[in-house]
Copies of this chain bind each other. A is one copy, B any other.
């Protein structure tokens, strides 16, 4: 058994079932091993940013890591933005990065680069295997590290891959359970919640499931605390039957206003909220000065445990949660805009769908309108690096193969990783993409206005850098070029018809929704 085979075998024995690949010469022995080891599904992506985003989306849905296979430093660089997103979302990921043979590095060949240096910027754990005998153990350790909600990057030199490994595979590992929270911390939270001061319970992290939301609602009602989710938790259950919980607003001004009365902010799997960006005359921290930010549970601690303990200690067991009813907006008619798209999607969204949201400003209709739609999961962009949505939809479809994936995409953000469409076609993934084709980087028009430069109106050069409509992009043609069926919607009626048909289909399809920007 060579090193590559023992690596793959150890991954499989540790429950890693999918490998998103874009190999090169230094990975050819790993590629050969794919046919020697049973139990791993190999998914080719045409660009590495697709495969790292797919791994992030897979992890969010499957609750375990996929592996990636990347070609040297440049392949890792191409994957970096979506690895960053996974890292910021505390999502598990195992990256395998091929390298030159160990003895070849000193020759500084054209593709030699500082892989450890690149990997270190976006990984919790980086390790370069030293010999074929080590690689099985190294792979098991990578899965363990990933299992802590981390990005683990294992560098696989070509000679480690092709060399003989008499040790064979290492024993498979299980993902670690979340860590127990000490009672003392729960007690401190209880005393804060009973202090009589204004409190907020903020929940976040990898996943906020429906049960957790309901528990949080009951706890909040029992003790009079407000409840809130992070702005962008990686995954959150929403829709009819889920608890009524606010979301911390994205815009700094609104977020600051949202928490301005709070004196105790209790964080459950959430980080202390901060402004996405800095602005002159706005604070970096969202909570008011003097607010006590108390971490009840970190993202890797047992959130069910602390919620159950709070339910008990705050006598909330018999409190009824506030729950969203099933209320569908009417199907829209007439002009198509982002609110009409939102109403249509909310009306037609099937039960148990997964919404992948990279609609940026254009999700402004869909997000509020779906809160009383059929129950669904919503995946957010956790690290702010654009180009995550289409890849995440690839991964979500593989991580939850029985569910309909609805991907909301801006036209600008779609173009970072448009190659995702090809993998959707190849794997016949159950993904419906809505492109909000507004021919602008609308979020940047808003941000430009906030600078106050030129009275908030861009000059001609600045305007040109915010305009993705010269020439207009034709996403129907782009989809066709990669084997995905697509249609264009210019009225609400067309959108309704196309989205309804998409909900009936099981393969990939794309709707190019021609909408004005939300600012207009």
A residues at B contact (CB < 8 Å): 21, 23-26, 28-29, 31-32, 34-36, 42, 44, 46-47, 49, 72-75, 77-78, 80-81, 84-85, 88, 100-101, 103-104, 106-111, 113-114, 117-118, 120-122, 158-159, 162, 232, 271, 274-278, 280, 284-285, 382-387, 412, 415-416, 418-419, 422, 425-426, 443-444, 447-448, 450-451, 453-454, 458-462, 464-468, 470-478, 480-483
- Please state the number of chain copies in the assembly: 2
In the docked arrangement, what's the CA distance between A483 and B415, Å? Answer: 14
Smallest CB gap from A116: residue in B: B121
Q: List 22 A-B contacts (CB under 8 A).
A: A21-B465, A23-B444, A23-B465, A28-B450, A28-B451, A31-B466, A32-B448, A32-B458, A34-B465, A35-B454, A46-B468, A47-B387, A49-B78, A77-B81, A100-B278, A103-B284, A110-B232, A117-B121, A118-B118, A158-B278, A159-B278, A473-B481
Smallest CB gap from A47: residue in B: B416
Q: Which of A277, A454, A471 has most chain B Cβ within 10 Å?
A: A277
Taking CB atoms, residues of chain B closer than 8 Å to A412 are 46
Taking CB atoms, residues of chain B closer than 8 Å to A474 are 480-482
In the docked arrangement, what's the CA distance between A164 and B109, Å? Answer: 45
Q: Contact: A28 with B121, CB < 8 Å?
A: no
Q: Contact: A473 with B462, CB < 8 Å?
A: no
In the docked arrangement, what's the CA distance between A21 and B85, Å? Answer: 22
Q: Contact: B104 with A278, CB < 8 Å?
A: yes
Taking CB atoms, residues of chain B closer than 8 Å to A108 are 271, 274
| Minimum CB–CB distance for A251 against chain B, Å | 11
Taking CB atoms, residues of chain B closer than 8 Å to A34 are 459, 461-462, 465
The 7 A-B residue pairs whose C-beta atoms are closest, nearest first, are: A35-B459, A77-B80, A471-B483, A74-B385, A32-B453, A101-B278, A478-B481
| Minimum CB–CB distance for A312 against chain B, Å | 34
In the docked arrangement, what's the CA distance between A464 and B42, Å? Answer: 8
Q: Contact: B121 with A114, CB < 8 Å?
A: yes
Supposing A47-B416, A482-B473 touch, asked if A383 and B74 sit within 8 A by C-beta, the answer is yes
Taking CB atoms, residues of chain B closer than 8 Å to A467 are 44
Q: Contact: A29 with B453, CB < 8 Å?
A: yes
Q: Contact: B470 with A481, CB < 8 Å?
A: no
| Minimum CB–CB distance for A254 against chain B, Å | 16
Known: A118-B121, A477-B477, A478-B481. 14 other contacts (CB 8 A): A25-B443, A31-B444, A35-B458, A35-B460, A74-B80, A74-B383, A74-B386, A100-B277, A104-B277, A107-B274, A111-B276, A111-B277, A426-B470, A474-B481
In the docked arrangement, what's the CA distance between A201 and B465, Å? Answer: 47
Taking CB atoms, residues of chain B closer than 8 Å to A84 are 73-74, 77, 113
Cross-interface CB contact of A88 among B110, B278, B419, cutoff 8 Å: B110
Q: Contact: B471 with A111, CB < 8 Å?
A: no
In the docked arrangement, what's the CA distance between A416 and B117, Å? Answer: 23
Supposing A46-B468, A475-B481 touch, asked if A422 and B426 sit within 8 A by C-beta, the answer is no
| Minimum CB–CB distance for A206 against chain B, Å | 15
In the docked arrangement, what's the CA distance between A316 and B297, Å? Answer: 79
Q: Contact: A46 with B274, CB < 8 Å?
A: no
Smallest CB gap from A85: residue in B: B74
Q: Contact: B74 with A111, CB < 8 Å?
A: no
Smallest CB gap from A159: residue in B: B278
In the docked arrangement, what's the CA distance between A103 and B284, Å? Answer: 8
Taking CB atoms, residues of chain B closer than 8 Å to A425 are 471
Q: Which of A28, A109, A476, A478 has most chain B Cβ within 10 Å?
A: A28
Q: Contact: B387 with A78, CB < 8 Å?
A: yes
Taking CB atoms, residues of chain B closer than 8 Å to A101 are 278
Taking CB atoms, residues of chain B closer than 8 Å to A47 are 387, 415-416
| Minimum CB–CB distance for A276 against chain B, Å | 6
Smallest CB gap from A426: residue in B: B470
Q: Contact: A447 with B25, CB < 8 Å?
A: yes
| Minimum CB–CB distance for A122 against chain B, Å | 7
Smallest CB gap from A459: residue in B: B35
Q: Contact: B28 with A444, CB < 8 Å?
A: yes
| Minimum CB–CB distance for A462 against chain B, Å | 5
Q: Contact: A462 with B81, CB < 8 Å?
A: no
Taking CB atoms, residues of chain B closer than 8 Å to A118 are 80, 118, 121
Taking CB atoms, residues of chain B closer than 8 Å to A81 are 74-75, 77-78
Cross-interface CB contact of A73 among B31, B73, B121, B478, cutoff 8 Å: B121
Smallest CB gap from A118: residue in B: B121
In the docked arrangement, what's the CA distance between A232 and B110, Å? Answer: 10
In the docked arrangement, what's the CA distance between A159 and B280, Å? Answer: 8
Q: Contact: B46 with A416, CB < 8 Å?
A: yes
In the docked arrangement, what's the CA distance between A276 and B118, Å? Answer: 21
Q: Contact: A383 with B454, CB < 8 Å?
A: no
Supposing A32-B453, A77-B84, A385-B74 touch, asked if A465 and B44 sit within 8 A by C-beta, the answer is yes
In the docked arrangement, what's the CA distance between A450 and B158, Å? Answer: 13
